[in-house]
Amino acid sequence: MMSFIKTAVGGLTGICRVHGHQQGLLHSHLKILAAGLKTYEIPPDYRDVVLPEKPKLKFMKKVPNFKKARKEMKKLRDIQGPAKTGTDFTTGEYAIVALGGGYLHWGHMEMMRLTINRKMDPRTTFARWRINSPFKPVTRKSLGHRMGGGKGAIDHYVTPIKYGRLIVEVGGKVELGEIQHILTEVAKKMPFPAKVMSRESLAVMQQKQADMEQNNQNPWTFKEIAWGNMMGMRRVLSPFDLNNHGRFKGKFHFPGRV
């Protein structure tokens, strides 16, 4: 019966078009009939997902439990280059990934904890830290203090972050669209470039970088020029540049460089 109605409507529509009537009387009815059967994506299966007993982010200590606090040098190498640990997912599906180096203060961690814990649903979502609490001391002298007198007193502690490090990992019975606005709000407040990624998008980014290196047709790459010591450039290059092949400049990363 339905096919007969569609055939009749199609014939009337053809007659209207022959006579120059693009918008016939049955134009609106055609839309309804063409709507027909719709197909939707199959929702993901969460039967294997197990939520932890405490799904929310735990409180981070502002000061580490050191028996005796010792002052340290700046050691900018702590935020330079790529991260060697904490670059892969463990139990979650989405995370905030650092795209540059920098220092996280206790205030940043508290902002992340409060924002995520208040806006996520603990019945279907869990979050966990992928970084340590602040452990690196930062010294500072009082305002108006004269030069000299040795190194200042410890003012606060920070956590150094390198490129590619996962900061917060989120998972559970949720999709990316449900929590992306929460993680994006947090990522925008980071003191370094950061981006919300899933397991798939992180694997695509890593594979893209590997394909660029493998399919590169330009023989004059930074690695070949540096190791070939062209024009004696090894005299002005640091071991950091030789190891990372010019893809990093301090805490900044150049994604298009091979």
87-140 pLDDT per residue, tens: 999 999 999 999 999 999 999 999 999 999 999 999 999 999 999 999 999 999
Task: Judge residue 167's burial from the number of C-beta atoms within 10 Å of its C-beta, 0-12 exposed, 13-18 middle, 19 or more buried.
Answer: buried
Could you give the CA distance from residue 19 to residue 229 in angstroms, rounded to a whole number? 79
Question: Does 68 score more than 50 pLDDT?
Answer: yes
Please name every residue paired with 171 in a beta bridge, in sequence order, or none if there are none: 126
Residue 177 has pLDDT above 70, yes or no: yes
Work out whether strand 194-198 and strand 136-140 pair parallel, antiparallel, or are unpaired. Answer: unpaired
Residue among 62, 186, 50, 49 at smallest CA distance from 117: 186
Tell me: the pLDDT tens digits for 159-172? 999 999 999 999 99
Give the pLDDT score at 35.
58
Distance CA 240, CA 243 (A): 5
pLDDT, greater one: 99 or 1 = 99
**Percent of the chain whose predicted confidence (pLDDT) is above 90:** 58
Pairing status of strand 94-98 against strand 166-172: antiparallel
pTM: 0.79
Cα–Cα distance, 247 to 258 (Å, whole number): 7
In the predicted model, is pLDDT for residue 180 greater than 90? Answer: yes
Least confident of 17-26, 50-59, 79-88, 98-107: 17-26
Q: Tens of pLDDT along 190-244?
A: 999 999 999 999 999 999 999 998 998 888 888 888 888 898 888 999 889 888 8
Query: What is the predicted pLDDT for the residue at 227?
Result: 86
Q: Are 162 and 100 in contact (CB under 8 A)?
A: no
Cα 125 to Cα 78: distance, rounded to the nearest angstrom:
32
Of 14-28, 151-165, 229-243, give the lowest mean pLDDT range. Answer: 14-28
Distance CA 43, CA 32 (A): 26
Give, in words, the CATH class of 76-207. alpha beta
Angle between helical axes of 2-18 and 27-35 (0-180°, round to 10): 140
- The answer on pLDDT for 12 being more than 50 is no
Q: Which residue is it, tokens 């290196």?
A: 213
3-state secondary structure of 127: strand
140-162 burial string, b = 16+ CB within 10 Å, else e?
Answer: eeeeeeeeeeeeeeeeebbbbbb
Stretch among 7-11, 28-32, 220-224 having the lowest mean pLDDT: 28-32
Mean pLDDT of the chain: 86
pLDDT band with cut points at 50, 70 and 90 for residue 29: very low
Look at residue 26 in the predicted model and tell me its pLDDT: 46
Alpha carbons 100 and 251: distance in angstroms, whole number: 6
